[in-house]
Structure 1
Amino acid sequence: MHQELQRIRQGYYDLWFGTNAVYERWAKKHGLNNNLLLTLYLLKEFPDDCTQHLICEKLMLPKQTVNSILAGLEARGFVEKKVSPKDKRVKLLTFTEQGATYADELLQKMDDFEERALRNMTDAQRNALLEGGFAWMKALRAAIDD
């Protein structure tokens, strides 16, 4: 059984690394890197309450890395910081009109790319992807607390 678990674990790493490499390749093809791509995604997904802390937490990136990404987006006129009305110490990140247009076009291309990939899978494979992924995440969370 130990060898079978090793095989499964190795297969998972191959899947994880391979998937990351595909997204990195897609991002590079569109003139950015994976961290920038995912930052744009989070800015769009959390339009009213996106902060540097949220991006760091979701992407598990150091504050310095996220700060550099955001500084680049600000320099291009894509993102601006606004003081949160709830807590003056918190800076909310929002797209400028130019940034929203850029992100919408780019993320629509990513949606199309992912949809093409999902269409190449059966319903059972798509469901198994989610079921297995969430079961794995739940099992890892339980194991870390053991």
Structure 2
Amino acid sequence: MDKSKANAYSNEYLHIYFKLNAQYEAYAKSLGFSYSTLSALRIILEHNGRCTQKTICEYAFLPKQTVNAIVTGLLRHGIIRMSELDSDRRQKVIRFTDKGLEFAFEAIQKIKNAESKAMESLDESQRTAMLTAAKLYVSRLHDYLLE
């Protein structure tokens, strides 16, 4: 494949990636949050009782200051509470309040349901091809960035 055609495909893939993120951003805004805050809610939910600010930084690729601002906002809204880790008192584990758990579960479950329905709408060969190609693309991109 020539370089200009490869660039066109790369641009198209990037455009698709941005459109996907825009859908998550629009959903987050409909809830009154940013995409980063919605991502943090999902990470906290999926790390049930084992989530720290560091966990959110690592999974969402967000800087500490951003995560701190997100956590401060969630605390202010009564969505989460924090307590010291027994193993390291400098770190605090993030847990949902009852109100926060109900809200986060509903918000994240809607995303998961939509993701499942979208995946179910593809036939098996489409799902397999999409996932196989995406994994290979990510792996090769990683390798080429290290050159």
Note whether the superposition's TM-score is higher than 0.5.
yes
- Which SS does the other structure have where 2:82 is aligned? strand
Q: Write the distance in 2 (CA, Å) between the matches of 1:124 and 1:33.
A: 35
Structure 1 stretches of 4+ with a deviation exceeding 4 A read none
| Equivalent residue, structure 1, for 2:119 | 118
- Name the TM-score, length of structure 2 as normaliser: 0.91
Letter in 2 for 1:140: L
User: How do residues 1-146 of structure 1 correspond to structure 2 at under 5 angstroms?
Assistant: 1-146=2-147
Larger mean Cα displacement after TM superposition, 102-111 or 123-132? 123-132
Letter in 2 for 1:70: V
Measure how far apart 1:141 and its partner are: 2.1
Q: Write the distance in 1 (CA, Å) between the matches of 2:11 and 2:18.
A: 11
List gaps (5 residues or longer) in structure 2: none
Output one character per residue of 1:82-127: Cα deviation in whole Å (capped at 9) or x when no partner: 1111112211111112211111111111122222222322222222
Number of equivalenced pairs? 146
Larger mean Cα displacement after TM superposition, 101-110 or 127-136? 127-136
Measure how far apart 1:129 and its partner are: 2.2
Q: Write the distance in 1 (CA, Å) between the matches of 2:87 and 2:142.
A: 32
- Name the TM-score, length of structure 1 as normaliser: 0.91
Measure how far apart 1:145 and its partner are: 2.2
Measure how far apart 1:140 and its partner are: 2.1
- Which SS does the other structure have where 2:83 is aligned? strand
Q: Write the distance in 2 (CA, Å) between the matches of 1:118 and 1:70.
A: 31
Q: Write the distance in 2 (CA, Å) between the matches of 1:133 and 1:143.
A: 15
**What is the root-mean-square deviation of aligned Cα atoms in Å?**
1.4
Letter in 1 for 2:112: D
Q: Write the distance in 1 (CA, Å) between the matches of 2:137 and 2:44.
A: 27
- Which SS does the other structure have where 2:86 is aligned? coil
Measure how far apart 1:9 and its partner are: 0.7
Q: Write the distance in 2 (CA, Å) between the matches of 1:136 and 1:52.
A: 30
List gaps (5 residues or longer) in structure 1: none
Measure how far apart 1:128 and its partner are: 2.0
Output one character per residue of 1:46-75: Cα deviation in whole Å (capped at 9) or x when no partner: 113211112112211121111111111111
